[in-house]
């Protein structure tokens, strides 16, 4: 198993491009997907959930880290002081 | 309760095994290991043969119902007993009997709560859970664990008292019938019902009363945390689903806690604390489903509880294996373990993709049911909040956690594969994470749900939606991986109020209260003592000169009177008769003269 993981790690550049190709495929698949009755406006837009995933992830990362650095971050022995 | 009912109750066997554990270990350690898996295996057999109602005992006019089985009960019983078996395998290498005793009593408490049909029985098993699980924290024996255990116990004692207050109020309002553990309608809910709900919500770790969970679970023993992550919060989900479906407050708080948990998971550094915050988040989905209250949402809640227990336990087992083998759980101290702990990596990744809801895993067919339930109930805000939480889930547990433990920078930490029993337990959990995700596994899980299932997870749109969300979350991680590098700091949470509050209370006791006490002491010594002595002297004088004088004087008079009386007594009967006749004569003369 270590050999398989090592083999894949050695080809990280190829994996990266395969990943980008996969991203394109998911959007293309969304064009073909059979849509159910929309629960809200996002269900009607092609590729909406791609943007939601990317922006949601970036927003969550920046907002949470921002609040952490501005307010929540303390030393490990904060309560022992 | 008849002996038959006692023997068919799975909690009986867990309690018996818990009490016998030290003896079994003393006879032969192998007996203890066998018990750890045989009792859960027996309980899995037992739950398939339980009648709808058993073990009703009348005690002081109250009907205590130890066994009530319906579909809602069964799905939770099923996963609890399966989890006990997996946990039994995982902790087999631990020789210390006390840890197993605590774990089995804890499982017995959870099974007792799930099976009971009245609030009094519920409360007893509820407290057994809190009491036993505290030892799973204390057995780690570090100062931080001891402290966290005390906080955990105090918080749960408070929650238990709130629950008890609600139960007693309900008894006063409704009478004995009110103690039956049944569904409560939102329209007629009283203060008593809301107190009970708060008691349940505390165990479900609903913000703002959630901080005990990420405080305590990371400090528990490696094996104890695996048990704890499965039972406390999910028992709370069961009781909320039983009593409070359709309560709007739960729908809103559930969606909030789903986001709150992942928000903290994104910034946390300790692997087990990340997972603990993820329990808050995942239980948020279930609480929200209960709050929505439709058949689809409640089915989703039960399915998600089932799936969640298994993949969360798998994740705790994976990072627990790393902690057991390397002694470390902070992400900033780990990295590059893929060469030495590949099995733990694979199992953790399976748990990670299951919790993220990847197609062909259990999370895909359970979590989506709650989100679809929100959609069908025309709750788009809840739908978006829950979907956003799934983005954060994949970001923090699906990618961040395995990346920084097994890849990332090479920390130089030397690990080795976990013990065979730990790997076996992870293998069983991983199997179920995948088995439940498609075909017969999904059908099996759906057949256990409380309502008929009219939901098909594998539609092309649902697949497309999920793949887009997860894939582009992966892209987001790739773009900001440096930003997400864990830092060796802690983050404040709402436990600040009682941890700092306790310090404030201690300061108050040590300084103003102590100073006042000292001042009072000095005042007493300088003024109080001399005053007391003077008063004592005054009373002594009064006692001697006043009371003693009077009493002694009276005594002397009595003695003297007695002596005089004795002198006039001659002993001659004639004199006594003569005196009597004279006296009668005098009285008669007086009467005649006066009348």
Q: Is the torsion defined by CA of B196, B199, B202, B208 positive or negative?
A: positive
Instruction: Tokens for B442, please give them.
Output: 């999904």
pLDDT at B28: 95
**Would the CB atoms of B480 and A62 count as touching at under 8 Å?**
yes
Q: CA-CA distance, B94 to B287, in Å (whole number)?
A: 34
pLDDT at B569 over 80: no
pLDDT at B192 over 90: yes
Q: CA-CA distance, B288 to B255, in Å (whole number)?
A: 6
**How much is the ipTM here?**
0.95
Evaluate whether residue A67 is within a structural domain: yes
Q: CA-CA distance, B457 to B366, in Å (whole number)?
A: 9
**Would the CB atoms of A72 and B492 count as touching at under 8 Å?**
yes
**Would the CB atoms of A54 and B475 count as touching at under 8 Å?**
yes
Domain that holds residue A14: 2-35+42-75
pLDDT at B160 over 80: yes
pLDDT at B108: 98
Mean pLDDT taken over chain B: 94
Q: Which whole-number Å values give the CA distances from B582 to A11, B137, B522, in the listed order?
A: 144, 101, 76
For chain B, the 3-state helix, strand and coil shares in percent, each to the nearest 5, are 75, 5, 20
Which of B267, B380, B465 is the closest to A49 by Cβ?
A: B465
Instruction: Tokens for B69, please give them.
Output: 């089985």
Q: CA-CA distance, B554 to B56, in Å (whole number)?
A: 74
**Would the CB atoms of A23 and B475 count as touching at under 8 Å?**
yes
CA distance B346 to chain A (A): 9
| CB < 8 Å to A18, chain B | none
pLDDT at A36 over 90: no
pLDDT at B170: 96
**Would the CB atoms of B387 and A52 count as touching at under 8 Å?**
yes
Largest CA distance in chain B: 136
Q: What is the mean pLDDT of residues B132-156?
A: 97
pLDDT at A76 over 90: no
A&B contacts, CB < 8 Å: 153
| CB < 8 Å to A6, chain B | 339
| CB < 8 Å to B345, chain A | 5
| CB < 8 Å to B423, chain A | none
Tokens 């293998």 appear where?
Answer: B427
- Residue partners of B544: CB distance under 8 A and separation at least 6: none
Which of B387, B459, B475 is the closest to A36 by Cβ?
A: B459
Q: At what angle do helices B29-47 and B71-90 cross, to 10 degrees?
A: 160
pLDDT tens digits, B507-547? 999 999 999 999 999 999 999 999 999 999 999 999 988 88
| CB < 8 Å to B461, chain A | 33-36, 43
pLDDT at B595 over 80: no
pLDDT at B151: 96
Q: CA-CA distance, B138 to B150, in Å (whole number)?
A: 9
Q: CA-CA distance, B363 to B389, in Å (whole number)?
A: 13
Mutate to test the interface with B, among A7, A64, A67, A80 (most CBs of B within 10 A): A64
pLDDT at B549: 87
CA B339, B340, B343: angle at the middle one, nearest 5? 95
**Would the CB atoms of A26 and B387 count as touching at under 8 Å?**
no
Confidence grade of residue B1 (pLDDT, cut at 50, 70, 90): low
Using alpha carbons, select from B330, B319, B335 the residue that is nearest to residue B405.
B335
Q: Which whole-number Å values give the CA distances from A66 to A62, A70, B266, B400, in the listed order?
A: 6, 6, 11, 18
**Would the CB atoms of B477 and A57 count as touching at under 8 Å?**
yes
Q: Where are the beta strands (DSSP E) in B53-205?
A: 53-59, 62-68
pLDDT at B570 over 90: no
SS3 readout for B137-174: HHCCCCHHHHHHHHHHHHHHHHHHHHHHHHHHHHHHHH
- Residue partners of B13: CB distance under 8 A and separation at least 6: B39, B42, B43, B46
- Are the beta carbons of B148 and B47 closer than 8 angstroms? no
Q: Which whole-number Å values give the CA distances from B464 to A32, A36, A57, B477, in the listed order?
A: 9, 12, 18, 20
Q: CA-CA distance, B98 to B294, in Å (whole number)?
A: 43
Mutate to test the interface with A, among B143, B337, B476 (most CBs of A within 10 A): B476
Q: What is the mean pLDDT of residues B129-133?
A: 97
Which of A1, A29, A34 is the closest to B346 by Cβ?
A: A1
| CB < 8 Å to A29, chain B | 460, 463-464, 467
Report the chain B residue with the minimal C-alpha distance to residue A55. Answer: B476
pLDDT at B156: 97
Q: CA-CA distance, B130 to B21, in Å (whole number)?
A: 20
Q: What is the mean pLDDT of residues B109-123?
A: 97
Q: What is the mean pLDDT of residues B220-236?
A: 97
Q: CA-CA distance, B346 to B342, in Å (whole number)?
A: 6
**Would the CB atoms of B464 and A39 count as touching at under 8 Å?**
no
Using alpha carbons, select from B342, B355, B371 the residue that is nearest to residue B433.
B355
pLDDT at B404 over 70: yes
| CB < 8 Å to A57, chain B | 391-392, 395, 472-473, 475-477
pLDDT at B579 over 90: no
Mutate to test the interface with A, among B472, B501, B507 (most CBs of A within 10 A): B472
Confidence grade of residue B296 (pLDDT, cut at 50, 70, 90): very high
Evaluate whether residue A46 is within a structural domain: yes
Mutate to test the interface with A, among B465, B474, B484, B494 (most CBs of A within 10 A): B465
**Would the CB atoms of B375 and A40 count as touching at under 8 Å?**
yes
| CB < 8 Å to B472, chain A | 23, 26, 49-54, 57
Using alpha carbons, select from B390, B413, B255, B249 the residue that is nearest to residue B330.
B413
CA distance A14 to chain B (A): 15
CA distance B259 to chain A (A): 10
Alpha carbon B293 to its chain's center: 24
pLDDT at A55: 97
| CB < 8 Å to B493, chain A | 72
Which of B262, B471, B503 is the closest to A23 by Cβ?
A: B471
**Domain total in chain A:** 1
| CB < 8 Å to A43, chain B | 461
**Would the CB atoms of A61 and B487 count as touching at under 8 Å?**
no
| CB < 8 Å to B488, chain A | 76
pLDDT tens digits, B353-400? 999 999 999 999 999 999 999 999 999 999 999 999 999 999 999 999
**Would the CB atoms of A40 and B474 count as touching at under 8 Å?**
no
pLDDT tens digits, B47-83? 999 999 999 999 988 999 999 999 999 999 999 999 9
Is B282 in a helix, a strand, or coil?
helix
pLDDT at B566: 79
| CB < 8 Å to A49, chain B | 464-465, 468-469, 472
pLDDT tens digits, B261-280? 999 999 999 999 999 999 99
N-to-C CA span, chain B: 88
pLDDT tens digits, B479-515? 999 889 998 999 999 999 999 999 999 999 999 999 9
Evaluate whether residue A81 is within a structural domain: no
Which of B342, B471, B491 is the closest to A68 by Cβ?
A: B491
């Amino acid at each position: 198993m270590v050999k398989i993981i090592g083999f894949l790690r050695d080809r990280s550049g190829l994996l990266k491009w395969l990943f980008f190709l996969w991203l394109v495929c998911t959007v293309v698949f969304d064009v073909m997907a059979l849509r159910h009755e929309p629960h809200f406006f996002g269900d009607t837009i092609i590729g909406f959930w791609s943007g939601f995933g990317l922006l949601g992830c970036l927003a969550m990362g920046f907002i949470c880290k921002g609040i952490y650095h501005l307010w929540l971050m303390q030393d490990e022995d904060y309560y022992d002081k | 309760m008849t002996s038959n009912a006692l023997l068919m109750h799975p909690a009986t066997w867990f309690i018996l095994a818990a009490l016998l554990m030290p003896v079994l270990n003393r006879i032969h350690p192998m007996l203890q290991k066998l018990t750890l898996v045989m009792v859960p295996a027996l309980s899995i057999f037992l739950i398939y043969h339980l009648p709808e109602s058993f073990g009703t005992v009348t005690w002081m006019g109250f009907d205590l119902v130890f066994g009530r089985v319906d579909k809602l009960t069964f799905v939770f019983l099923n996963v609890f007993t399966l989890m006990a078996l997996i946990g039994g395998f995982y902790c087999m290498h631990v020789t210390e009997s006390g840890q197993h005793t605590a774990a089995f009593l804890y499982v017995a408490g959870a099974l007792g709560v799930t099976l009971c049909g009245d609030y009094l029985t519920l409360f007893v098993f509820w407290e057994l859970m809190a009491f036993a699980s505290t030892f799973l924290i204390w057995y780690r024996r570090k100062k931080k664990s001891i402290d966290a255990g005390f906080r955990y116990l105090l918080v749960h004692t408070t929650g238990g008292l709130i629950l008890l207050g609600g139960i007693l109020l309900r008894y006063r309002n409704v009478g004995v019938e009110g103690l039956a553990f049944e569904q409560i309608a939102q329209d007629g809910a009283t203060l008593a019902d809301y107190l009970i709900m708060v008691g349940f919500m505390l165990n479900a770790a609903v913000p703002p009363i959630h901080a005990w969970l990420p405080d305590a679970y990371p400090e528990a023993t490696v094996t104890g945390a695996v048990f704890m992550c499965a039972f406390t919060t999910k028992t709370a989900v069961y009781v909320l689903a039983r009593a409070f479906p359709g309560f709007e407050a739960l729908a809103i708080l559930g969606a909030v806690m789903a986001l709150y948990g992942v928000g903290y998971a994104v910034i946390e550094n300790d692997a087990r604390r990340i997972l603990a915050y993820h329990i808050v988040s995942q239980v948020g989905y279930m609480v929200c489903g209960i709050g929505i209250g439709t058949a689809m949402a409640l089915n989703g809640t039960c399915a998600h509880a089932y799936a969640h227990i298994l993949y969360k336990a798998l994740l705790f087992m994976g990072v627990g294996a790393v902690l057991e083998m390397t002694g470390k759980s902070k992400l900033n101290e780990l990295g590059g373990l893929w060469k030495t702990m590949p099995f733990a990596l694979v199992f953790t990744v399976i748990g990670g993709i299951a919790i993220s809801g990847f197609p062909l895993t259990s999370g895909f067919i359970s979590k989506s049911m709650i989100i679809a339930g929100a959609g069908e109930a025309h709750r788009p805000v809840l739908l978006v909040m829950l979907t956003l939480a799934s983005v954060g889930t994949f970001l923090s547990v699906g990618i961040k956690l395995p990346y920084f433990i097994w890849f990332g920078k090479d920390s130089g930490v030397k690990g080795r594969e976990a013990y065979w029993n730990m790997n076996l337990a992870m293998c069983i959990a991983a199997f179920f994470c995948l088995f439940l995700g498609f075909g017969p596994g999904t059908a099996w899980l759906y057949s256990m749900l409380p309502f008929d299932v009219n939901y098909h997870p594998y539609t092309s749109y649902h697949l497309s939606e999920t793949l887009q969300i997860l894939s582009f979350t992966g892209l987001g991680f790739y773009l900001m991986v440096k930003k997400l590098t864990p830092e060796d700091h802690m983050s404040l949470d709402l436990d600040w109020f009682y941890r700092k509050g306790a310090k404030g209370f201690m300061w108050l006791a040590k300084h103003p209260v102590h100073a006042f006490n000292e001042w009072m002491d000095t005042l007493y010594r300088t003024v109080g003592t001399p005053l007391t002595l003077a008063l004592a002297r005054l009373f002594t004088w009064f006692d001697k000169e006043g009371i003693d004088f009077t009493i002694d004087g009276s005594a002397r008079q009595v003695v003297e009177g007695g002596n005089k009386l004795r002198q006039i007594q001659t002993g001659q009967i004639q004199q006594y008769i003569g005196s009597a006749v004279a006296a009668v004569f005098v009285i008669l003369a007086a009467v005649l003269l006066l009348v």
